[in-house]
Amino acid sequence: MIVAVKAGKHRFTAFREDSGPTWIICRHYLKQSGQRDKPGDRAVKQTIKNRVVYIKLVKDGIYYERS
């Protein structure tokens, strides 16, 4: 589930971790109008990609790998 957290004109896209109650904040964008806008659409698309990568890395157990 992808959500946009509102704070005035500011929006933060986030997704919920599958294994618990943790929310991961991904992108910030400034809402320009009352309707959906291009920056919001781009932020949501990027958040969906980030969620897929995050889930894959956590599943493989390498998300917190140190170099």
In a domain, 43, yes or no: yes
Q: What angle do CA 23, 27, 44 make, to 5 degrees?
A: 90
In a domain, 65, yes or no: no
In a domain, 66, yes or no: no
The pLDDT assigned to 14 comes to 92
Asked if pLDDT for residue 63 goes beyond 70, the answer is no
Euclidean distance between the first and the last CA atom of the chain, given in angstroms as a whole number: 31
In a domain, 67, yes or no: no
- Tens digits of residue pLDDT in 4-59: 888 888 999 999 887 778 888 988 888 877 777 788 888 889 999 989 988 888 87
The pLDDT assigned to 60 comes to 73
In a domain, 28, yes or no: yes
Q: Which residue has the higher pLDDT, 62 or 13?
A: 13
Instruction: Name the phi and psi angles at 30, rounded to 5.
Output: -100, 120
Distance CA 44, CA 27 (A): 8
